[in-house]
Amino acid sequence: MNCDICQAPFQPTNKNHRHCHNNCTAKLYAARKKVRLQIKEALKALRTPEQVNEFNQSLSSVLGVN
């Protein structure tokens, strides 16, 4: 399969693998870590469950998680 990030073909060693080892996994991890920090800050501003839900949905699209 091809890496989600750099599009290079690679051989996944398990079915959850979507990124090659050309730093792409590390890049993704760093990006998510950054997002998590932003989330932490943003959560302080969320006051109602509706706001939290809305935020979680926008987050899922950012992270590519369903």
**One-character DSSP codes across 16-48:** T--S-TTTHHHHHHHHHHHHHHHHHHHHHH--S
| Tokens of residue 29, six digits | 């991890």
- Cα separation, 31 vs 17, in Å, equals 17
Q: Is 6 in the site for Zn ion (CB under 5 A)?
A: yes
Candidates 1-9, 28-36, 37-45, 50-58; binding stretch for Zn ion (CB under 5 A)? 1-9
- Compare residues 32 and 53 and give the one whose CB is closer to Zn ion: 32
> Residue 5, interface with Zn ion (CB under 5 A)?
yes
Give 6 or 62: the residue with its C-beta nearer to Zn ion: 6
Binding site for Zn ion (CB under 5 A): 3, 5-6, 20, 22, 24
